[in-house]
């Protein structure tokens, strides 16, 4: 469910026609619905009612400051995977004690940033990282609060590039080694391991893999406690999927019930890291048709958005619903929706049944609020497109279009070229 609906034949974001925004800011642009973000957060938070739970939004899904501020006002914390994301979360008003720092390659500078900020915990993913955290904490005269990310070797049944919980993946410490790693960490004077973290993947559309992973975590907690290790915190990750192309997704309430049944009675403080579930269907990418081209075997609608604006179709073979901004009753025809970048992979849809389009028509690529703008680039020296937030009948540009001159201003010729 989202708040992008047709009103009098025009696709609106809440009560604002997308065509009106296009006239104001140009195309392409991202548009986010604040109402959808707020509703999706509450649906997930409500699924955890009765649990000692903190919802730490996965900033990597959408790091726009206005989006983060919206979530902060609802009580959300943040799951960050870089120093830059930590800076953004704090700038948006997310409390440090609701921020967890994940990721396999934290630098000393990032570890120091997290410790100085006083975040809730660092999710350590390897023994070398534990040593680095201890070294930095000792230099700062601090004790680092750490949760140990384990790899449960559970297949999330999702795309190979977003699976994170198999023993062949780079994430976490193999779960059977947790005993030894925690025992060895007792010699680290500036690290205190308080819990376990687990994250098995992204865009997971069936919940049984979560049950399997959480049972493995539960068993590990019981064994560690039997050995005298005080486990008081669990970070259960995120990964819940959204319907991109008419998929049937079970409700978050079912996920919450699995949490209760598996780890709900352990007496642990729980952290969750939803991202896509909160913002995925809260955003669209609006683009304008440049040309309609008839090829030898198919028709192409060439649009002004490209793979540098929305990478998911090229990177993951992702399928996003694409709809006209102005509704029509004309019979659909098959068309490939493609961008202008010089790559065959710059394709948003192939053989899509779409009402006939012509140059100048607007299209909306739906469910683009997660892993859209955050993964964009300036490939082909293209602009970074604006982001717009809508609330009711109001809209505001929350990131301006960043044009080529900005990037040229950061480049320079070496001295010898002027000799």
What tens digit of pLDDT does each residue of 57-104 get?
A: 999 999 999 999 999 999 999 999 999 999 999 999 999 999 999 998
Residue 366 structural domain = 4-32+280-408
pLDDT given for residue 50 in this prediction: 95
Q: What is the pLDDT of residues 169-194, one digit of tens each?
A: 444 688 778 888 888 888 899 999 99
- The answer to whether 124 and 111 have CB atoms below 8 angstroms apart is no
Gyration radius of the chain over CA positions: 23
The mean per-residue pLDDT over the stretch 17-28 comes to 98
Report residue 404's pLDDT band, with 50, 70 and 90 as the boundaries: very high
Percentage with pLDDT > 70 across the chain: 95
Rounded to an integer, what distance in angstroms lies between the CA atom of residue 124 and that of residue 195? 10
The mean per-residue pLDDT over the stretch 289-305 comes to 96
Same domain (yes/no): 110, 156 = yes
In the chain, how many domains are there?
Answer: 2
Q: Which of 396, 385, 288, 294 is nearest to 335 (CA)?
A: 294
Tokens of 368: 């683009």
Same domain (yes/no): 256, 358 = no
Last residue of a domain, one of 276, 300, 330: 276
DSSP string covering 145-191: EEEEEEE------S-GGGB--STTSSSSEEGGGHHHHHHHHTT-TTE
Last residue of a domain, one of 214, 244, 276: 276
The mean per-residue pLDDT over the stretch 301-316 comes to 96
Residue 418: inside a domain: no
Residue 387: inside a domain: yes
Per the annotation, the verdict on 342 as an active-site residue is: yes
pLDDT given for residue 147 in this prediction: 94
Kindly tell me the sign of the dihedral angle through the C-alpha atoms of 146, 151, 156, 159. positive
Is residue 121 over pLDDT 70?
A: yes
pLDDT given for residue 153 in this prediction: 66
Q: Exposure of 393 by Cβ count < 10 A (0-12 exposed, 13-18 middle, 19+ buried)?
A: exposed
User: What length is written for the chain?
Assistant: 419
Same domain (yes/no): 38, 28 = no
Integer CA distances (angstroms), 298 to 1, 37, 263, 301, 351, in order: 33, 38, 53, 10, 8
Q: What is the DSSP letter of 235?
A: E
Q: Which of 300, 302, 313, 297 is nearest to 375 (CA)?
A: 313
Same domain (yes/no): 50, 163 = yes
Residue 255: inside a domain: yes
pLDDT given for residue 187 in this prediction: 86
Last residue of a domain, one of 259, 276, 293: 276
Same domain (yes/no): 116, 168 = yes
pLDDT given for residue 164 in this prediction: 41
Q: What is the pLDDT of residues 132-168, one digit of tens each?
A: 999 999 999 999 999 999 887 654 444 343 344 344 4
Same domain (yes/no): 270, 371 = no
Is residue 361 over pLDDT 50?
A: yes
pLDDT given for residue 162 in this prediction: 38
CATH number at 292 reads: 2.40.37.10
Q: What is the pLDDT of residues 207-266, one digit of tens each?
A: 888 888 899 899 889 988 988 889 999 999 988 888 887 677 889 999 999 999 999 999
Same domain (yes/no): 242, 312 = no
pLDDT given for residue 154 in this prediction: 54
Same domain (yes/no): 251, 392 = no
pLDDT given for residue 240 in this prediction: 87
Average pLDDT of every residue of the chain: 92
DSSP string covering 127-150: HHHHHHHHHHHHHHT--EEEEEEE
């Amino acid at each position: 469910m989202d708040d992008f609906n047709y009103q009098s034949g025009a696709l609106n974001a809440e009560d604002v026609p997308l065509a009106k925004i296009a006239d104001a800011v140009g195309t392409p642009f991202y548009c986010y619905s604040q109402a959808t973000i707020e509703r999706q957060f509450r649906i997930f938070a409500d699924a955890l009612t009765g649990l000692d739970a903190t919802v730490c939004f996965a900033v990597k899904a959408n790091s726009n400051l206005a989006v983060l501020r919206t979530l902060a006002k609802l009580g959300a914390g943040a799951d960050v995977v870089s120093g830059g994301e930590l800076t953004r979360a704090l700038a948006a008003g997310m409390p440090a004690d609701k921020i967890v720092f994940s990721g396999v390659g934290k630098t000393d500078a990032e570890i120091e940033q997290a410790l100085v900020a006083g975040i809730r915990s660092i999710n350590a993913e390897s023994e070398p990282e534990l040593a680095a955290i201890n070294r930095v904490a000792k230099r700062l005269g601090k004790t680092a609060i750490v949760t140990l990310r384990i790899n449960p070797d559970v297949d999330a049944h999702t795309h190979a590039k977003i699976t994170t919980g198999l023993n062949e993946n780079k994430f976490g410490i193999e779960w059977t080694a947790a005993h030894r790693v925690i025992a060895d960490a007792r010699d680290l004077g500036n690290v205190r391991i308080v819990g376990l973290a687990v994250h098995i993947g992204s865009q997971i559309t069936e919940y049984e893999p979560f049950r399997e992973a959480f049972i493995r975590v539960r068993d590990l907690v019981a064994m560690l406690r039997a050995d005298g290790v005080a486990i008081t915190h669990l970070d259960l990750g995120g990964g819940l999927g959204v319907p991109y192309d008419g998929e049937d997704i079970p409700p978050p309430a079912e996920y919450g019930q699995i949490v209760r049944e598996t780890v709900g009675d352990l007496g642990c403080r729980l952290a969750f890291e939803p991202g896509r579930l909160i913002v995925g269907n809260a955003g669209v990418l609006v683009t304008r048709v440049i040309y309609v081209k008839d090829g030898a075997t198919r028709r192409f609608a060439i649009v002004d958005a490209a793979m540098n604006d929305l990478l998911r179709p090229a990177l993951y073979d992702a399928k996003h619903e694409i709809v006209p901004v102005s509704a029509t009753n004309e019979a659909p025809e098959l068309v490939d929706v493609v961008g202008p970048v010089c790559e065959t992979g710059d394709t948003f849809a192939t053989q899509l049944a779409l009402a006939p389009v012509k140059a100048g028509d607007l299209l909306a690529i739906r469910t683009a609020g997660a892993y859209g703008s955050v993964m964009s680039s300036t490939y082909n020296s293209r602009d970074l497109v604006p982001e717009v937030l809508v609330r009711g009948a109001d809209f505001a540009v929350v990131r301006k279009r960043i044009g080529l001159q900005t990037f040229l201003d950061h480049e320079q010729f070496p001295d010898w070229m002027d000799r």
